[in-house]
Amino acid sequence: MDPHLPWFILLNPLVTAALIHFLLRRSPGWSAVLSTASACVGLLTAFGIWFSGFPTQPIEVPWLDFSPSFRLPIGITIDALSKVMLLVVTGIGALIHIYSTVYMARDEAKSRFFGNLSLFMFSMLGIVLANNFGMMFIFWELVGVSSYLLIGHWFTRDSAAAAANKAFITNRIGDFGFMLGILIVWNATGSLIFSEIAANLGALTGLGTGWVTAAALLVFCGAVGKSAQMPLHVWLPDAMEGPTPVSALIHAATMVAAGVYMLARVYFLIGASLDAQLVIQWIGVITAVFAALMATQQDDIKRILAYSTLSQLGYMVCAVGLAAPNAAMFHLFTHAFFKALLFLGAGAIIHHLHHEQNIWKMGGLSGRMKVTFWTFLAGYLALIGCPFFSGFYSKDLILMAAWHQNGLVFVLALFTAFLTAFYMTRLVVVVFLGQARSNEASHGHDGPGAMSLPLVILAALSVVAGYGTESYFEHAFQGLPAHEHAGVVPWLAIGAFLLGSALSFVIYQGRAKDPIVIRLFKNKFYFDELYAALIAGTHDLLAQISSWFDKWVLDGIIVRGLSGSAWGAGFMLRFLQVGNLQAYSFLFGIGAVALIYFVVLVK
């Protein structure tokens, strides 16, 4: 293949972002056009890469080069994994750009929005293409920045500013572990390049299983932050303060999936430690269950989808831990379409209900927002795992892996499937069926073509994305344990989905307010309160202590003690009392110069 293609796809959004931020700040219209055009060109390039085979030469430029001890190049991997990821990122990216031209049409900082959207595309594509840990970390951080900027787009809102900070700092906590893991891997294998590490993994495993497990789990920390796994999940629901297209692009389809993609990319490392895999599958499934429980009691349409995203990411992470990265990537692939669709559908509703996000103030929208309703329904069915929709197949593969590996994890994963059907049916019933429960809801209508078109395309993809793709992901990985197909698993999944949706339908049909109140779920298991207390209790307290110590002990005692001590009592103190700074400084300079002569002369 032509090596210019991947460079072009990577640099195109960077140039776009730079043009918009530095030149088009005052031309919002042109910014939107340029950014959207660049995203569409990106999609075309991704297709070009898809159809043009694999590179024969390494595509690489040096960046920080201290060969042989340390080498961090900007290098590109084109393989089955990155090819499909390029399509997902640019494809959904392009659709969301188109959608945003309507959603953000009257935003007063439209240029900034589109500039940052392009910056995000650049960062995300860098993660997808990276052929080494160093470059991945660079773009990992850049994704963090662009996410910060986009969550905080409406920065005059205090909640948006708080959410942006929370997302960034929480991610950095994960990155702390990620970097440490990278350092351990590099220290043992002497390389940052994925292929070289994989070939030289013996140098790491030779140090003992403890080091491998530590390295794998520390690298996993990065994914815990970016893919919002427990206990670092708290930022994602708050990130819904950003504009809805941002939620769809970043916090559903791409950025949060980066953690899973990274795990799949370095699966050679994860797969080398059984202990690490055990931890990863449990973190994944616990996130899946807890997030689904929280989702059942939320009232904000975007937050329900956010918790649902957490839960689905839990599935993917769990799959990596179950030695099924192919299932994780498959679910990442299908989920990207249907979750982007659900967010954009929710965005259409919010847009036309004048930024009303409470599902209890909606209702009866199926008649007035037909396109939105039917497309949302497709996404809904895919998410809850209805047979013949894409989500069914990918979820089935994860459940199958759990069935073979860990019975308890399987039960929890199945329970999550039940909960998913439950909370999503609640959402659909409350939002779309019954009576309009607010003035806005009774006037809702579908958006213009640029808003509906992405919905229709994504709906179609949500249906078909599960066909013929399963084997693609299977071929992308080598040496995975083969499972025989257990016929009972899909039936159990279907049972869970039927039970969950039927139960939810019966409970919520025709209700005007939530008949179930479970404070623990509604308050998200009090994680935020716990962390607030923890941070106030440790970091901030330590901060106060060290600041106090600095002011009163180091400064007070030492400085005052010094000037009063015998050392200062001589010539120093006299000048202090004279209090003439200029005189002192001058004499000091002379004295210093004289002293060196003196010492040298005496010798």
Partner 1 sequence: MLNLIIFIPLLAAFAVLLGAPARKSALAAAAAGLVISLFALFSYDASKAGFQFASSTPVVPEWDLKFLLAADGLSLVMLLLTNLVTLAAVWITPLVEKRENIFYACLLFITAGAAGAFASQDLFFFYAFHELALIPTFLLIGLWGSGQRHAAAWKITIYLALGSFILLIGLVDLYNALPAGVRTFDMIKLQQLASAHVIPEASQTRPYLLLLVGFGILISLFPFHSWAPTAYASAPTPAAMLHAGVLKKFGLYGLIRLAVPLLPAGAQHWSWLLLTLLVGNVIYVGLATIAQKKLDMTLGYSSVMHMGYIFLGIAAFNLVGVTGAAVLMFAHGLSIAALFAMAGHLRKFSPSLAYETMGGLGKPMPFLGAAFGMAAFASIGLPGFANFSSEILVFFGAFKPAFTPEAGSYQLATAFALWGVVISAVYMLRAYRAIFLGGVRKDSTDWVDPIFSLRLPVILLLATLMITGFFPGGIVNLVKPSIEALLPK
Nearer to partner 1, 505 or 575 (CB): 575
CA distance 374 to 119: 33
- The distance of closest approach from Cβ of residue 596 to partner 1 in the complex, given in angstroms and rounded to an integer, is 6
- The distance of closest approach from Cβ of residue 527 to partner 1 in the complex, given in angstroms and rounded to an integer, is 19
Note the residues at the interface with partner 1 (CB under 8 A): 62-66, 69-70, 72, 134, 137-139, 141-142, 145, 152, 155-158, 160-162, 164-165, 168-169, 172-173, 175-176, 179-180, 183, 186-187, 539-540, 542-547, 549-551, 554-555, 558-559, 562-563, 568, 572, 576, 581-582, 584-586, 588-589, 592-593, 595-596, 599-600, 603
Nearer to partner 1, 168 or 338 (CB): 168
Task: Give the length of the chain.
Answer: 603
Could you tell me which residues are beta bridge partners of residue 193? 132
Q: Which residues contact 368 (CB under 8 A, 6 or more apart)?
A: 442, 443, 444, 445
- The distance of closest approach from Cβ of residue 502 to partner 1 in the complex, given in angstroms and rounded to an integer, is 46
Nearer to partner 1, 178 or 403 (CB): 178
Nearer to partner 1, 141 or 474 (CB): 141
- The distance of closest approach from Cβ of residue 565 to partner 1 in the complex, given in angstroms and rounded to an integer, is 11
CA distance 114 to 398: 36
Nearer to partner 1, 155 or 388 (CB): 155
Nearer to partner 1, 377 or 572 (CB): 572
CA distance 359 to 330: 31
- The distance of closest approach from Cβ of residue 23 to partner 1 in the complex, given in angstroms and rounded to an integer, is 14
Nearer to partner 1, 72 or 305 (CB): 72
Residue where the block lists tokens 């970390």: 137
Q: How many Cβ atoms from other residues are within 10 Å of residue 553's Cβ?
A: 10
- The distance of closest approach from Cβ of residue 210 to partner 1 in the complex, given in angstroms and rounded to an integer, is 14
Residue type, 300: D
Nearer to partner 1, 122 or 521 (CB): 122
Nearer to partner 1, 21 or 368 (CB): 21
CA distance 393 to 100: 30
- The distance of closest approach from Cβ of residue 12 to partner 1 in the complex, given in angstroms and rounded to an integer, is 16
Q: How many Cβ atoms from other residues are within 10 Å of residue 148's Cβ?
A: 20
Nearer to partner 1, 173 or 480 (CB): 173
Could you tell me what percentage of the chain is helix, strand and coil, using 3-state DSSP and rounding each to the nearest 5? 75, 5, 20
- The distance of closest approach from Cβ of residue 599 to partner 1 in the complex, given in angstroms and rounded to an integer, is 5
CA distance 2 to 24: 32
DSSP 358: B
| Token representation of residue 126 | 């860098």
- The distance of closest approach from Cβ of residue 601 to partner 1 in the complex, given in angstroms and rounded to an integer, is 9
Nearer to partner 1, 487 or 579 (CB): 579
| Token representation of residue 477 | 């990985």
Could you tell me if 418 and 498 are in contact, meaning their C-beta atoms sit under 8 angstroms apart? no
- The distance of closest approach from Cβ of residue 365 to partner 1 in the complex, given in angstroms and rounded to an integer, is 32
Nearer to partner 1, 509 or 585 (CB): 585
- The distance of closest approach from Cβ of residue 125 to partner 1 in the complex, given in angstroms and rounded to an integer, is 14
CA distance 455 to 344: 7
- The distance of closest approach from Cβ of residue 355 to partner 1 in the complex, given in angstroms and rounded to an integer, is 17
Nearest to residue 443, comparing CAs of 514, 519, 362, 381? 362
Chain centroid, CA 550 distance in Å = 38
CA distance 452 to 464: 19
Residue where the block lists tokens 């840990």: 133
Could you tell me if 60 and 195 are in contact, meaning their C-beta atoms sit under 8 angstroms apart? no
> Which H or E run includes 544?
helix 539-548
Q: For residue 477, is it left (φ>0), alpha (ψ between -120 and 50) or beta?
A: beta
DSSP 241: G
| Token representation of residue 60 | 């690489």
